[in-house]
């Protein structure tokens, strides 16, 4: 089996989400957007698919890096292909990102699963059939009835509990909200949610990511007193020493890093430096499923949990194969967004939640996405 063709299909779809000037996602008016599907096809007719942004899968990146490394190679040699692709990052002028690598590598996993008629989470080892979900909010905003006040967070938390979520993570206010960031307001929101859900319900905070040490410490002490389960990314994660200092001065578990560059090497440095109590990895953040598994096993070797950043098919596959993660991050959630609405390019969502607040592992082969190929074919804007 050899890789014969790599193609990208860009298609239009409707979206009700917009990004602010700092890149945070919020509800917005329905508008046209674009998504891209990467397809890897072999000489014997097997194929694998993965989705990403058109920017991360633009022709220059696919032609100059992914095709050069993958074409005529055995798609089952995922580690070899990933390492050879990663080597191109050094001289790519930042063109080849971890997100591009993640989509390409996920397509390899999807191909393997489809060709063997096995879900990827089982190919990875298979640990569990389902995983509890925590509801992960969007960032705070200034929309009436949205997430504009501490009371809004409390009300939405009550809705999430009634919906079946077994834990909740807050993303509080960040610029460009006119008055953000504010340690005082963050603590008030966290207190309102604690009051709404009771003293024993697991809560987490993912705060403004650019607080100073002093502000991060004050906020950490505030949510520590409220019995929060973990504290996430209150400072720039490229300063490992700042997080070592924060972890040393707080009892609440520090989780990270989430976005810090460096794949598994950076996570190893955080663990060695005692900068975190819980490790953190997302498939899109570290270049794929394979490196995510390395990080999870690294954390396991230190008797540490490794929680997975974000949802989606790739992250769900990792969760199905490891023992040292407790939650699936389901979101981002907002009072104005119906998370369970099926995207046009799929026939079903990848992460339906049952009445007990669990996400079942996919039973379809590969990554398990039920792709609406007909919709994609009818809405192509470019293909290469």
DSSP state of 138: P
Instruction: Say how many C-beta atoms besides its own lie within 10 A of residue 332's C-beta.
Output: 20
Per-residue model confidence (pLDDT) at position 188: 99
Residue 243 Cα distances to 156, 214, 252, 309, angstroms:
30, 12, 13, 18
DSSP state of 66: I
Tell me whether residue 331 is exposed, middle or buried, using C-beta atoms within 10 angstroms of its C-beta: 0 to 12, 13 to 18, 19 or more. buried
Per-residue model confidence (pLDDT) at position 88: 97
119: which strand partners?
A: 366
SS (HEC) of 326-349: CCEEEEEECCCCCCCCCCCCECCC
pTM: 0.98
Q: How many whole angstroms separate alpha carbon 222 and alpha carbon 236?
A: 20
Per-residue model confidence (pLDDT) at position 52: 99
Q: pLDDT digit of tens for each residue in the chain (384 aa)? A: 999 999 999 999 999 999 999 999 999 999 999 999 999 999 999 999 999 999 999 999 999 999 999 999 999 999 999 999 999 999 999 999 999 999 999 999 999 999 999 999 999 999 999 999 999 999 999 999 999 999 999 999 999 999 999 999 999 999 999 999 999 999 999 999 999 999 999 999 999 999 999 999 999 999 999 999 999 999 999 999 999 999 999 999 999 999 999 999 999 999 999 999 999 999 999 999 999 999 999 999 999 999 999 999 999 999 999 999 999 999 999 999 999 999 999 999 999 999 999 999 999 999 999 999 999 999 999 999
Per-residue model confidence (pLDDT) at position 67: 99
Per-residue model confidence (pLDDT) at position 197: 99
C-alpha 145, offset from chain centre? 26
Residue 160 Cα distances to 80, 144, 236, 254, 257, angstroms:
43, 19, 29, 24, 26
Three-state SS at 212: coil
Q: Which two tokens stand for residue 209?
A: 């990511």
> Kind of pairing, strands 25-42 and 203-206?
unpaired
Per-residue model confidence (pLDDT) at position 363: 98
| CA atoms within a 13 Å half-sphere pointing along the CA-CB vector of 76 | 8
Q: Which domains does the chain possess?
A: 3-117+373-383 (3.30.390.10), 122-360 (3.20.20.120)
């Amino acid at each position: 089996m050899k890789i014969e063709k790599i193609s990208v299909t860009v298609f239009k779809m409707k979206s009700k989400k917009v990004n602010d000037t700092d890149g945070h996602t919020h509800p917005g008016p329905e508008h046209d957007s674009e998504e891209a599907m990467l397809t890897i096809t072999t000489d014997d007719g097997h194929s694998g698919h993965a989705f990403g942004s058109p920017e991360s899968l633009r022709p220059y990146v696919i032609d100059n890096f992914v095709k050069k490394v993958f074409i005529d190679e055995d798609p089952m040699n995922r580690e070899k292909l990933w390492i050879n692709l990663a080597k191109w990052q050094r001289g790519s002028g930042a063109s080849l990102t971890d997100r591009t690598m993640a989509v390409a590598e996920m397509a390899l996993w999807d191909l393997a699963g489809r060709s063997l008629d096995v879900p990827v989470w089982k190919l990875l080892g298979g640990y569990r059939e389902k995983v509890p979900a925590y509801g992960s909010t969007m960032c705070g905003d200034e929309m009436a009835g949205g997430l504009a006040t501490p009371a809004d967070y409390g009300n939405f938390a009550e809705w999430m509990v009634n919906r079946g979520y077994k834990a909740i993570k807050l993303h509080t206010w960040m610029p460009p909200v006119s008055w953000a960031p504010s340690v005082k307001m963050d603590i008030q929101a966290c207190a309102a949610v604690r009051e709404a859900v009771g003293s024993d319900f697991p809560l987490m905070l993912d705060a403004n990511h650019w607080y100073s040490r002093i502000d991060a410490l004050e906020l950490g002490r505030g949510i520590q007193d409220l019995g929060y389960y973990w504290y996430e990314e209150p400072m720039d994660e490229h300063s490992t020493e700042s997080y070592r200092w924060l972890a040393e001065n707080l009892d609440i578990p520090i989780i990270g890093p989430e976005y810090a560059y460096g794949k598994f090497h950076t996570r190893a440095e955080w663990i060695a430096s005692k900068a975190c109590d819980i490790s953190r990895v997302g498939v899109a953040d570290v270049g794929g499923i394979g490196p995510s598994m390395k990080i999870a096993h690294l954390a396991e070797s230190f008797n540490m949990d490794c929680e997975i950043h974000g949802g989606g098919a790739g992250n769900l596959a990792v969760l199905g194969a490891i023992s040292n993660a407790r939650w699936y991050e389901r979101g981002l959630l907002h009072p104005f967004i119906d998370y369970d609405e099926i995207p046009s390019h799929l026939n079903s969502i990848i992460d339906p939640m049952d009445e007990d607040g669990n996400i079942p592992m996919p039973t379809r082969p590969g990554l398990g996405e039920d792709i609406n190929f007909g919709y994609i074919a009818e809405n192509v804007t470019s293909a290469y």
